[in-house]
Amino acid sequence: MIVVLGSINLDLGFAAPRLPAAGETVLCDAAAVSPGGKGANQALAAARDGAAVRMIGAVGRDAFAAPALSELRSGGVDISGIVEVERPTGLAAVMVDPAGQNQIMVASGANLAVTARQIETLALGPDATLVLQMEIPPAEVAKAIEFARTRGSRIVLNLAPAATLAEEVLARLDVLIANEIEIARLGTGRPMDIAHAVARRLGITVIVTLGGDGACMAAPASCWQIGCLPVEVVDTTGAGDAFVGVFAAALDRGASPESALHRASVAGALTCTRFGAQSGLPGAAEIDRALSRLAPAVRAD
């Protein structure tokens, strides 16, 4: 079982001819409304890869809540732990250029009302995987990590958006996943060097996603590297969330970290081939078909 404690948003997406500079207005043909939020994206990614998933979060008592939850509901995610609060449902403005690069602004709203107490009534145990991100208050993320550690659950944290948590909190994780910008908060040098230093210092597994350059993974005694599945990029929004969700789903099924890294890397790349954070998430069969197109992870230590 995977439990995701995190954010739920409704995204307003713009396919822009270019990303605007400061003070610039850029026109585009149309916009699309779709569900998003890192927590919800990761929950749906894991569910589409076959995992049993429970999403814990918050939405407002407004017209945005139902569409924000629509894909989770249709995707088979258990949403009974999502509460309604007086704050508005989280909203995001997502601008994507022709190369698939994006700029995102998020109005957190109800996500700021998410608390670690929401998971304390769950039957978390050694057979559960808790997945967290940083779109809810960092203090609640820290409390959730502490609680899950007392229950013996596997804990996966996506340090995104970039934020700071005390090292004694990070040391209670099993897996930390970050991109190049986010991992730079924890050290200096090449991403692999930072990842390995953090892994040895804290005794955890650290993964850095590198966009078109693939990903690297460091444990205290080993390092791994993997390339990127070649795809035609339409929209990178949600690629990192697909990676996290599918990595967690693979671990939850008993896969080795290096096998999970391979599967997650394929899922992240496939997500880039379609527009939208959740509409682009691949299913298990699509990932299975594409696995042979990307060489497995190799030792790099």
Spatial strand order in the sheet of 90-96: 31-36, 9-15, 90-96, 102-107
pLDDT of residue 242: 98
Please list the active-site residues.
241
Q: Which residues 6+ apart lie within 8 Å of 51 measured at CB?
A: 1, 2, 248, 249, 252, 253
pLDDT of residue 13: 86
Angle at 87 between CA 235 and CA 76, to 5 degrees: 50
Q: Provide the pairing of β-strand 129-132 with 154-158.
A: parallel
Q: Which amino acid is at 50?
A: G
pLDDT of residue 99: 84
pLDDT of residue 123: 84
The total of other beta-carbon atoms located within 10 Å of residue 82's CB is 23
Q: Which residues 6+ apart lie within 8 Å of 66 measured at CB?
A: none
Q: Provide the pairing of β-strand 129-132 with 102-107.
A: unpaired
Q: Where are the domains of the chain?
A: 2-8+37-88+111-299
pLDDT of residue 28: 86
Q: Provide the pairing of β-strand 215-219 with 2-5.
A: unpaired
As its CATH architecture, domain 2-8+37-88+111-299 has 3-Layer(aba) Sandwich (3.40)
pTM of the model: 0.94
State both tokens at 149. Answer: 């550690």
State both tokens at 142. Answer: 């820290």
Q: How many helices and strands (H and E) does the chain possess?
A: 9, 14
pLDDT in tens, the chain (301 residues): 999 999 999 999 898 899 989 999 989 888 889 999 999 999 999 999 999 999 999 999 999 999 999 999 999 999 999 999 999 999 999 888 888 888 889 999 999 999 999 999 998 999 999 999 999 999 999 999 999 999 999 999 999 998 889 999 999 999 999 999 999 999 999 999 999 999 999 999 999 999 999 999 999 999 999 999 999 998 888 999 999 999 999 999 999 999 999 999 999 999 999 988 898 899 999 999 999 999 999 999 7
Yes or no: say if 44 and 124 are a contact pair by the CB < 8 Å rule. Answer: no
